[in-house]
Chains A and B, each alone.
Chain A
């Protein structure tokens, strides 16, 4: 919980909340509209050999991303949503890195030219871009999670009992 109000930092946190929310809604919707494409992309990583688990990941994850994005935009359960983003982003980033390494090893190309559709919803992309972008998203999510800032324009920042800014029991 923030001990001293700082309107600039709080404004930045609200902006971060909205940007993260918008990004994940966009990426999630992109996958929601093409679940077969996402299924094929998840399969390309060969992480899961059990059909039910593979299909569930492909079917549910896009909706889950949209859900977390909406929570962030609305300012509901912000910490929980931020934590979920981190839980998704860290292993996904690692998997993308490992796949890029595999491509470098099998195709003999430079790491900086490795390009493929990682399944995030932005289509084919230079992997090193993604490996910079994702840690930034993780940092932003971590900031929201641990700082507790960005409560302005929140419907219910904490799901269990933490009221929105402006109510009698603020902070």
Chain B
């Protein structure tokens, strides 16, 4: 009886809660995990060499994303795209796949918010931007966090051409570690942390 009542209450509370989880969504693409080689784009004309080693973590990210036809972008490409004039024209778009709290604590300046676990409120804004952009860079914390990968997969599955989608594997942690500027609060809040480069 305790189990039955508790479970029912749990389901009801989840349904009511603004932080509640969708029960049917495949957040981690559990039913689709083939592994093949990925496309890595640092500089389109650059090839990987023995002097440009790749970490096992990044190799794993590449393998997973390659199976989905997605690209991994390293910090050099991300920096290049950040300074690209097309960014101001909306032709290069940055998407932050984290929850609202971490987004407000600091994001890549100009990045659009897309809470991967509660995307419904964000997709109406983000989708048209991604479809019309030439390149879309999706990021999260980086490292072991896979939210950016899943968000990129989701965008690809709902109509954003996959050749445009880049996953910044290093994420906001690498961005900040590299001394890059970070915007606080809402998008285009004007409140910055760190040097402007």
Contacts and interface: CB of A to CB of B under 8 A. Distances in A.
Secondary structure at the B interface, as helix, strand, loop or mixed, is loop
B27 A55 contact: yes
Contacts of B10: 59-64, 67
B7 interface: yes
A39 B2 contact: no
Nearest to B145: A40
B7 A51 contact: no
A160 B13 CA distance: 25
A-side interface size class: 20 to 34
B17 to A, nearest CB: 8
B30 A35 contact: no
B-side interface size class: 20 to 34
B1 A50 contact: no
Given A64-B7, A81-B2, A84-B6, 7 more contacts: A32-B13, A43-B28, A51-B30, A59-B14, A68-B6, A77-B1, A83-B2
B13 A63 contact: yes
Secondary structure at the A interface, as helix, strand, loop or mixed, is helix
Interface string A24-54: 0000000011111001000100000111101
B114 to A, nearest CB: 14
A160 B24 CA distance: 36
B2 A51 contact: no
Interface centre among B2, B7, B28 (most CB of A within 10 A): B2
Contacts of A33: 19
Nearest to A63: B10
A25 B2 CA distance: 16
A58 interface: yes
B3 interface: yes
B31 A80 contact: no
29 contacts: A32-B17, A33-B19, A34-B19, A35-B14, A35-B17, A35-B19, A36-B19, A36-B99, A51-B26, A51-B28, A51-B31, A55-B22, A56-B11, A58-B21, A59-B11, A59-B23, A60-B11, A61-B10, A62-B10, A63-B13, A63-B14, A64-B7, A64-B10, A67-B9, A67-B10, A68-B2, A77-B1, A159-B1, A159-B2
Contact of B30 (A50, A64, A71): A50
Contacts of A49: 30-31
Contacts of B23: 52, 55-56, 59
A54 B30 contact: yes
B2 A36 contact: no
